[in-house]
Structure 1
Amino acid sequence: MARFKGPRLKIMRSLGVQLPGLSRKKWDERKAYPPGMHQGRHRKKVSVYGTQLREKQKLRFNYGLGEKQLRRFVDMSFQMRGNPGENLLQFLERRLDNFVFRAGFASTIPAARQLIVHGHIKVDGKRVNKPSFLMKKGHKVSLHEKAAKFNHVQASLEQLALVRPEWIGFDEGNKDATVVSLPNRDSVPFPIEIGQVIEFYSK
């Protein structure tokens, strides 16, 4: 499945949740029904499959993943020790594009991905252009000298889209960020029933 390039607010309204990684804009929560001319008046009761699909779509759209990418992370999560759901969330949070976003270098994950693929991000002093690169404890991320002067990067650092999580340490002087611990379920910045996602892929 190709990466979604349509109206982001429409997706968040459809799922009924704010996805900070997808867009900095907020949908009007007074319209607590999905897009459409009937304003949710003819909605049917959501099935078990529908609930599982919705939770899975939250992850896919927030982290900007294709179906094959998400499935690969799910498979990796089952191969690790521990709870597959917790493992999956940790993998997604440790992606470099998400780390760049959560550290404050970019206002959204798509914006962070653009910085990475254009070679503006360094991990431990070396350029990394793969958004799917998995961060490890102790890894340090910094901006290329040119990128540090970008107006949108400076604006993002001055006005963070989200409060930095505890697992990310930030040096205000050098403008670099370090993985001080591994993320956990509480690190995810939106409500997610991860058990439903695991059940979706367990069929």
Structure 2
Amino acid sequence: MSRYTGPRVKIMRALGTELPGLSAKKTERRPYPPGQHGQARKKLSEYALRLREKQKLRLNYGLTDRQLRNLMIEARGSDIAAGAKLIELLERRLDNVVFRAGFARTIPAARQLVTHGHVLVDGKRVDIASYRLRAGQTVSLREKSRTHQTVETGLARKDLEAPTWLTVDKDTRSARVASLPDETSVPFAIEVQLIIEFYSQRL
């Protein structure tokens, strides 16, 4: 399945949660699933609950099903808990770090900054959105890109704070990875164990 490009608020309503990486808009005006029967209460099956949690991660971080599956395989092979490792790998993506630092309004906007060559890692241009940052590395913007409209729009967003594992300097448009993120780093409610259970029967 390809990356989602449809209505973002609609998908957040369907999943029952706001995904800050997907959209800066809110669902508070219509906090129920879309469609004619959206306000009718439905009891979800165990499979549906697990699928919903998986979709939250996939759509917030802008991944394809194959990308998320590959990350899950990598997480299961690590020395730490698979759920914690999965979150760490997702949060360390360059497009996500640009977003979490406040330099873009959403992850799709951050991905565009990266792929268009506006982002530097330790002073060198990196245009791969999935580039995985390490502790101690610094992300910054090219001097000519510091007043880019996407950056100004991102910095104007006030509903999200930078995570504790990032040290952000908005004046110089730079962010340093002070430490590796953990399972508490996700900026929305998620039950990682359900995602582990979803993949346990598929890997």
Scaled to the shorter chain, the TM-score interval is over 0.9
Looking at structure 2, the residues matched to 156 and 44 of structure 1 have their Cα atoms a distance apart, in angstroms, of 37
Say yes or no: does 1:78 pair with 2:76: yes
Match of 1:104 among 102, 105, 129: 102
Cα deviations by residue, 1:94-148 (Å, 9 ceiling, x for unpaired) = 1101000000110000000000000110000111111101111011011012211
Find the residue that maps to 1:149 and give its secondary structure.
coil
The match for 1:34 is 33
Find the residue that maps to 1:115 and give its secondary structure.
helix
- By how many angstroms is 1:28 displaced? 2.6
Looking at structure 2, the residues matched to 28 and 117 of structure 1 have their Cα atoms a distance apart, in angstroms, of 33
Looking at structure 2, the residues matched to 115 and 23 of structure 1 have their Cα atoms a distance apart, in angstroms, of 16
Is contact 2:103–2:173 with CA below 8 Å preserved after alignment? Answer: no
Looking at structure 2, the residues matched to 13 and 48 of structure 1 have their Cα atoms a distance apart, in angstroms, of 20
Structure 2: runs of 5 or more not aligned: none
**Aligned residue runs from structure 1 range 25-174, under 5 A:** 25-28=25-28, 31-41=30-40, 43-174=41-172
- By how many angstroms is 1:200 displaced? 0.4
Is contact 1:9–1:26 with CA below 8 Å preserved after alignment? Answer: yes
Calculate percent identity across the aligned residue pairs. 52
In the superposition, the TM-score normalised over structure 2's length comes to 0.95
Looking at structure 2, the residues matched to 175 and 121 of structure 1 have their Cα atoms a distance apart, in angstroms, of 10
Aligned-residue Cα RMSD (Å) equals 1.3
Structure 1: runs of 5 or more not aligned: none
In the superposition, the TM-score normalised over structure 1's length comes to 0.95
Looking at structure 2, the residues matched to 126 and 118 of structure 1 have their Cα atoms a distance apart, in angstroms, of 14
Looking at structure 1, the residues matched to 88 and 160 of structure 2 have their Cα atoms a distance apart, in angstroms, of 18
